[in-house]
């Protein structure tokens, strides 16, 4: 019967404390001094020389509230326990507790350790639940239910407390909550889920629904797509080449797609090194370009046309057989022959092409066989230039 009473009382305390929870504004918290009456119920299994019954006491406590949620207290209780048969015994119980207060001080949990000296001394661990009820700014009613456990003898006692607490000391109000961090506290925020970075009015609601920088009150185009450049009325500005610079400010209105532009809408260029190398082989003792329309020769000509500021040196070479004088003349003829192809067939300006013969002085392969002679009968040309190219986005 006693256990059922204790569980019912504990449940009633939790439910009632939740029902009487304060409004959404966080209370101020202070230290307190308290005095309470205590009903103490002993475990029938408690080992004593006489059978203990219920008891009562007067409790004095000092509490220190060091954050909105956490506090600590010391407590002294003058305790009288009754024995079955009518006699009683006086003593005391001293201990400390840590307390955790729920939001808005709806209720609190506590736990600690007590030293009890009634007839004999014992150390108990205790946990419980309680609430400070506001009846005036300077007075609170204290209600608590606690259980005590002796780990050595393995028994449990229970207590119910009712008393008064007197807050004192400098109050420390907690900061009002602002769940969406828009600068409007939750109690006044009519739009509590505003996305980060959105400007809001005094009620916490957006003042620029399409986030284009124009307030709703003057925005004549309130649903502008994200990223659109708008005018003072919130309507999109024209950008014919879609480079991010409106036509009114675009000094280069036909910018190619996909390239970076500056604040005036003109292409931003970067320097880049371009290079092409060509090698053309010749028959033995011949200076005739056998395949002037070869794709590699055509590609070289296109490169020269694309980069019009470039010039080229055409180098003529021969294989080792033959006299040095003969080979020198042959190499110069080969270079000149290739220049003629560039000028006559591909319209490359002759002034951009220089020729030089090296004869047999720069062999690619020094072996004395047919393959070595074949690769050495050649002209070679390399063109390199630093040009400006548009930067890509």
Q: CA-CA distances (angstroms) from residue 387 to 273, 307, 377?
A: 6, 8, 33
| Residue 300 backbone dihedrals phi, psi, to 5 degrees | -60, -45
Q: Which CATH number fits domain 271-390: 3.30.1600.10, 3.40.630.30, 3.30.1330.60, 3.30.830.10?
A: 3.30.1330.60
pLDDT by 10s per residue, the chain, length 393:
344 444 444 444 444 444 333 333 445 667 999 999 999 988 877 776 565 678 899 999 999 998 889 999 999 999 988 877 677 788 899 999 999 999 988 999 999 999 989 878 889 999 999 999 998 878 999 999 999 998 888 888 999 999 999 998 765 555 678 888 888 888 888 888 888 877 788 788 877 777 777 877 678 887 878 777 777 777 767 777 777 777 767 778 777 777 788 878 787 777 778 788 999 999 999 999 999 999 999 999 999 998 888 899 999 999 999 999 999 999 999 999 999 999 999 999 999 999 999 999 999 999 999 999 999 999 999 898 887 777 777
Domain 24-171 in CATH 2.40.160.20 = yes
Domain regions of the chain by residue span: 24-171, 234-266, 271-390
How far is it, in rounded angstroms, from Cα 312 to Cα 338?
A: 12
d(CA 116, CA 114) in angstroms, rounded, equals: 6
Tokens of 8: 């019912």
Tokens of 16: 């009632």
User: Which CA distances in Å does 127 have to 1, 119, 149, 280, 368?
Assistant: 22, 23, 9, 97, 103
């Amino acid at each position: 019967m006693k256990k059922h009473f204790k569980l019912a009382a504990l449940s009633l305390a939790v439910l009632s404390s939740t029902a009487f929870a304060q409004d959404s504004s966080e209370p101020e918290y202070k230290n307190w001094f308290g005095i309470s009456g205590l009903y103490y119920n002993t475990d029938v299994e408690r080992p004593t020389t006489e059978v203990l019954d219920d008891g009562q006491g007067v409790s004095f406590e000092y509490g220190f509230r060091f954050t909105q949620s956490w506090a600590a207290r010391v407590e002294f209780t003058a305790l009288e326990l009754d024995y079955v048969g009518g006699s009683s015994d006086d003593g005391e119980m001293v201990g400390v507790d840590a307390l955790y207060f729920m939001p808005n001080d709806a209720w609190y949990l506590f736990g600690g350790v007590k030293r009890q000296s009634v007839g004999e001394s014992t150390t108990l661990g205790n946990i419980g639940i309680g609430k400070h009820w506001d009846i005036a700014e300077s007075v609170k009613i204290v209600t608590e239910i606690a259980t005590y456990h002796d780990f050595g003898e393995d028994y449990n006692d229970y207590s119910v407390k009712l008393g008064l607490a007197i807050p004192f000391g400098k109050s420390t109000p907690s900061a009002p909550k602002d769940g969406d961090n828009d600068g409007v506290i939750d109690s006044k925020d009519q739009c509590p889920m505003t996305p980060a970075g959105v400007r809001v009015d005094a009620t916490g609601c957006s003042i620029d629904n399409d986030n284009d920088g124009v307030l709703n009150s003057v925005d004549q185009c309130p649903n502008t797509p994200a990223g659109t450049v708008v005018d003072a009325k919130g309507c999109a500005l024209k950008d014919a080449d879609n480079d991010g610079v409106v036509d009114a400010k675009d000094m280069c209105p036909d910018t190619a797609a996909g390239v970076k532009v500056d604040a005036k809408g003109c292409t931003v260029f970067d320097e880049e090194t371009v290079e092409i190398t060509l090698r053309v082989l010749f028959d033995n003792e011949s200076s005739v370009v056998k395949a002037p329309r070869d794709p590699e020769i055509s590609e070289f000509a296109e490169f020269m046309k694309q980069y019009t500021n470039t010039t080229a040196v055409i180098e003529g070479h021969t294989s080792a057989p033959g006299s040095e004088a003969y080979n020198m003349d042959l190499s110069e003829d080969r270079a000149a022959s290739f220049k003629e192809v560039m000028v006559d067939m591909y319209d490359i300006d002759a002034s951009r092409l220089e020729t030089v013969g090296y004869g047999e002085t720069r062999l690619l392969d020094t072996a004395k066989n047919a393959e070595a002679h074949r690769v050495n009968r050649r002209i070679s040309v390399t063109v390199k230039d630093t040009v400006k190219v548009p930067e890509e986005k």
